[in-house]
Structure 1
Amino acid sequence: MNAKILLLLGVVAVAAADSRPSYSVPRYSSEESGPAQYNFQWAVNDAPSGNDFGHQENRDNDNTRGSYTVQLPDGRLQTVSYSVDGDSGYIADVKYDGDARYPDSDEVRSYTPPRPQYG
């Protein structure tokens, strides 16, 4: 009797192991493979900290246009405008607004680091 049960369990185990899940090719969806189309923009301008930067971009199929701005440490605002038309590559135009300001040599020499304090 035990041999018959073991044989039956063995046959069931082999049958269960042999049944593999079937996989099929996913169906085509126009949502997933449609042409790229988007636009976005964001900006930060915090006067107390001096942070002024942002980015905007528009894309329609293979054509992309955008620009970004960065407040540089020397006081100038750098604006990079760019475009990509298909396979033409990345084309950038860089502009600077304002005049670069550097500290006087006396101001740089007057800096002294804080003394370490041990508790």
Structure 2
Amino acid sequence: MTARPSRRSIVRNPVANRDAARGRGTSRARIAARTGHFLGVHGETPITTVPGPPAETVRALRERLGSPADDLVTDEIARRFTICGDDEDCVTGLRGFAGAGLASLIVIDEGSQDPVATIEHLARTARAAGLLPG
């Protein structure tokens, strides 16, 4: 049996529902810096090595800790470690992570949204994904 990572992150972009394609791009750009930092802090540990980004990328993120490293966060790395985009993207992402054995989420509050509204949206999204009772 392969070990599964137990932490993920989710970000919701407020413009995503108005323009899904633009929202996805904006969400990914906003999450890339946080994801790079998160992975850099952990370095080569099961949190980063089990999902399988290249070891050289993980080392580079670690070396650049404290400096911008969002250019190292590819779409594939963002897909493996984050849930972002419009509401449908987030529901799909939550279902996928739950199916893979997700144990917990790290909710990144970037300060641009009301934290209570962010948690309420996460709960609505989890309900829509069938992960919380109705």
Task: Report TM bin, short chain.
Answer: under 0.3
The structure that is helix-richer by fraction is 2
Q: Which has the larger radius of gyration?
A: 1
Tell me which of the two structures has the higher relative contact order, counting C-alpha pairs closer than 8 angstroms and 6 or more residues apart.
Answer: 2
TM-score (norm: length of structure 2): 0.20
